Chains A and B, each alone.
Chain A
Amino acid sequence: MSDTIPSGFTLPVQVVEAGGVTAWLAEDHAVPVVSLSFSVPGGASLDPEGREGAAALAAALLTEGAGDLTANAFQEAVRDAAISFSFSSDRDEFSGGFRCLTEALPEAVRLARLALSAPRMDPTDMERVRARAIAGARQALENPRGQAGRAFWATALPGPFGRPPGGTAESLASLPGELLKGVPGRQFHRAGLLVAASGAITAEQLRETLATLFGDWPAGDPAAVPVPPAFAARGVQVVRMESPQSSAVFGQPGLAVDDPDWEAAGVVMRVLAGGGFSSRLMNAVRVERGLAYGIGAGAEPVAGRSVIIGSVATENARMGETLSVLRAEWARMAASGPTDAEREEAIAYLTGSQPLSFTSTRQVAGILLALRRNKRPLDWLANRPARLAALSREKLAEVAARVLRPDELAVTVAGKPEGV
């Protein structure tokens, strides 16, 4: 490979510990901003059957009044100090965090502690936020992309992980207040808690922050997170709805996050379906045939495993052709893997773009948290270019053949598609 490939830029990462909680910190005082992110396993997968959206609704309620601050008072304090809080519940984890100016860090920590330890969940606020969530859940199904995604996940992972993490209009309406109030107790445990921080915060400040935010959390094991089922979607599923364009969500089983071939599969997917214009799918579907505005796919981790998922939208009459092109490209990659030139370009991109991930505190905190979630060592990024460079074309072809299953590529289409 040419010597123009940059090395794997990364920021020095400190490991900071306080009160039984460790955090990864990329300290950088270039701009007066701090980002902190955390996650715990669980999330929507712990919502009882028929009670989808409980964790997500509770997450939204954390910043709607806490301690002696009413919802209004809490929101005013947040906005006076320009703190941006994010609490959410995904398929397999509960996550949260904030971004703020360094001068507002004490206020952000005070409010975050209140939100995590003493959310009020007053009845009127609960009903107000519930109504908003119900409207959002209904709006999400107004377009074909929302319908296709909903149906795809339900078919692909039947059970807790296939449900909409934000709930449905029906489930949200049925959530008892006591269930919502119990969410922090079910989700928040120090076991499994991952924390990352970035920006203008010292290790000492982070230590204090960890103790303040998480010191009171019980140590014990989190509620058992279910094991994801085998990928179950097959063939083509159509959700009929009135629309001039059909939207397709497609996918197949992916590797476990700790699979030794995980990074090699990432290179294969970059060539087949990655971002930008360089992928085979983008070229075949958009550039050559003008079938769609965009197409792409990648691995989405779910509780340590993953689903390869992608999407494309095209006018109803051309969905059949689009899916044919998709399947042909999937099969071609499975059969012979990337070419030498494709291999080199993909690795050059994945290596060279590494510094781009370190240009904002939120990105850095997010990356550090993702590394921890996937159980990567501290030097993972520093050594990544060397690992990628060592992947031969033959190895990538072998991994493409192992991972890609053109015959099992499942598709959910919403709209009025023809020829599928």
Chain B
Amino acid sequence: MPSLTRRAALATAAAVPAVLATRAPAAPPPSAPAIAAPPPIPPGRPLFGATLWRMPNGLRVAYVGTRGAPVVAHYLFYGVGSGDDPAGRSGLAHFLEHLMFKGSAHVADGEFSRRVAREGGQDNAFTSRDVTAYHQTVEATRLKLVAMMEADRLRAPLFPADGVEPERAVILEERRQRTDSNPRARFREAYEAAMWGAQHWRGRPIIGWADEIRAITRQDMLDFHQRWYTPGNAVLVVNGAVEEDALRRVVEDEYGGIEGREVTPRRRAAPSDAPLQSRLVRNDAGVREAQMLRSWIAPSLTWGRNDADREHAIPLEVLAHLLGGGPGSRLHKALVQSGLAVGAGAGYDSDDLGASSFGLYVTPRGDTAPAKLEAEVEDQICRLLDQGVTEEEVARSKRQLTAGALMSLDGLGAAPRLLGGALAIGLPADAVEQWPARIRAVTPEAVMAAARSVFTHPSMTGWLLPEGVRAP
């Protein structure tokens, strides 16, 4: 899931919370009465063994008591992201995230980060399509301080009027840095907009279209905060050197007094049956190496064309590995080891809110003709649908996907990111805790059913090419 962090990569690298080095555990279907019960899966040992509870005001809490250094990670997730930006105001969720650092009732403008640093901690935030999260990593005795400040800006952020314009300028520079000055990012943005629609929740960039960033008002932010930033739409995840009792007291003291409000249901409009365009070709003078993308609308753990469709989400993860998960995968053998491409792979996220996409990407090698690559990709898809997958291939993918799951215990960041990300979009914690067991339960038949649920629908193909190179 793409996300934007608030800070440039210039930040000191000394103790940034670990990013997940294993593949991101995804999630199982949420229980819904309309869905036939999935075949029982023998539960495995939970990955993090998180303890969960809910406060009377609706705030959900997940606690993982990792021992080691006297450090805690404190993450507050909100079930809102760029996918919830109002029409014509793309970038609002992200803009608001920036403004959350500009003070609240008891914390002055700029004081949040300054205070955390003064206490030896680190803080940041990120916005994805599905969630907005604020996080701090601090020496364990500072937990109460960060909880107090985080609760304060949940309750009563200032959004100072004179802070809006400088921050808008910062965000426009962030957009120029991430997207406008990078031909690959420009293309990716145009590709998503062409596939889903420039105003569709999935087709808009997380950071927003530049003219819409310019249109966002302070009132938009106040309204958005009022609507989404409420305890019942938030998930607090704490991982580290703190006892459960002590954490419960801190949470009660700092978050317990915040009044709960009704939670707005999230709407994720279904996509059209097929990508809005079947092809996007862009020649860009700034590009030196061509790139091909091909993608399909795909089910996720939370969305399908029909209820049964969601059952394909976990098998699609296995399919993505089998087809394009690095060396040894089918695309790697057919395109990279054959000398046609320098890179090829597949990407799929099961843990999206709403429709997901299944994507393939290829970077051609030297002067391989684009038409040849495109034909080879098509051939791989046809062959898969015609001839199926072997037991051995599936076993290999399941083994490699899950072999490193326990590595996510190494560092404090993975548990909050995975648990918070799942819980905040309505998935149960088991989506994370039992992810390895669920992957291991996937059968070759399930992989093929999943493949058919995606590849029998129309796809979109995109080419980013240097000036003068012709697309097929």
Q: Does B161 contact A (CB under 8 A)?
A: no
Determine whether B220 belongs to the interface, using a CB cutoff of 8 Å to chain A.
no
**Nearest-Cβ distance from residue B465 to partner chain A, whole angstroms:** 13
Q: Quick check: B173 and A314 within 8 Å, CB to CB? A: yes
Chain B residue with Cβ nearest A313: B177
How long is the Cα–Cα vector from A276 to B10 in the complex, in angstroms?
9
Chain B contacts for A244, CB-based, 8 A: 176, 180-181
Which residues of A have CB within 8 Å of B181? 143-145, 243-245, 247, 313, 415
B302 within 8 A of A: no
Say yes or no: is B244 at the interface (Cβ < 8 Å to chain A): no
In this complex, which of A80, A84, A353 has the most chain B Cβ atoms within 10 angstroms of its Cβ? A353
Closest to B366 in A: A131
- Residue on B nearest A5 in the bound complex, by CB: B120
Interface of A is mostly: mixed
Q: How far is the CA of A132 from the CA of B71 in the complex (A)?
A: 40
| B432 on the A face (CB < 8 A) | no
Q: Does A41 contact B (CB under 8 A)?
A: no
- A33 adjacent to B407 (CB under 8 Å): yes
Cβ-closest chain A residue relative to B17: A359
A33–B409 CB distance below 8 A: yes
Q: Are B15 and A363 in contact (CB under 8 A)?
A: yes
How far in angstroms is the closest Cβ of chain B from A218? 32
Contact mask for chain B residues 1-15; partner A; CB cutoff 8 A; 1 contact, 0 none: 000000111111011
A174 → B minimal CB distance (Å): 15
* A375 proximal to B (CB < 8 A): no
Q: Please tell me which stretch of B37-45, B312-320, B350-358, B397-405 contacts chain A, meaning at least 4 of its Cβ atoms lie within 8 angstroms of it.
A: B397-405
Docked Cα-Cα span, A292 to B176, in Å, equals: 10
Give the residues from 243 to 297 in chain A that come closer than 8 angstroms, CB to CB, to chain B: 243-245, 247, 274-278, 286-297
Q: Please encode chain B, from 92 to 127, with 1 for each CB lying within 8 Å of some chain A CB and 0 for all others.
A: 000000000100000000100110011111110000
Q: In the bound complex, what is the Cα–Cα distance between A32 and B168 (angstroms)?
A: 45
Tell me the minimal C-beta distance from B190 to chain A in angstroms: 15
- Chain B residues contacting A4 (CB-CB under 8 Å) are 119
Q: A142-B286, A278-B113 are in contact. Are A357 and B15 (CB under 8 A)?
A: yes
B336→A128 contact, CB < 8 A: yes
Q: Contacts of A9 on B, CB cut-off 8 Å?
A: 69-70, 139
Q: Which residues 311-341 in B have Cβ within 8 Å of A in the complex? A: 326-328, 336-337, 339
- Chain B contact-residue range equals 35 or more
Q: How far is the CA of A9 from the CA of B120 in the complex (A)?
A: 12
- Given A135-B342, A359-B68; A354-B120 close (CB under 8 Å): yes
A32 x B406 contact (CB < 8 A): yes
Complex Cα–Cα for A294 and B145 (A): 26
A242 on the B face (CB < 8 A): yes
Interface string of B42-86 (1 = CB under 8 A from A): 000000000000000000000000111111000000000000000
- Assess whether A359 is in contact with B411, with CB atoms less than 8 Å apart: yes
Known contacts A143-B182, A348-B120; 11 additional CB pairs below 8 A are A30-B66, A31-B68, A80-B403, A81-B403, A101-B404, A101-B406, A244-B180, A278-B114, A287-B110, A353-B122, A360-B411
- A and B contact pairs by CB, cutoff 8 A, 5 listed: A143-B183, A277-B114, A311-B10, A352-B139, A359-B17
Where the two chains meet, the residues of A that have a C-beta atom closer than 8 Å to any C-beta of B are 4-6, 9, 11, 28, 30-33, 35, 71-72, 75-76, 79-82, 84, 99, 101, 104, 124, 127-128, 131-132, 134-135, 138-139, 141-145, 199, 241-245, 247, 274-278, 286-298, 310-311, 313-315, 345, 348-349, 351-363, 415
What are the nearest 9 A-B pairs in CB distance? A352-B120, A294-B8, A290-B169, A82-B404, A296-B10, A356-B15, A275-B12, A360-B411, A82-B403
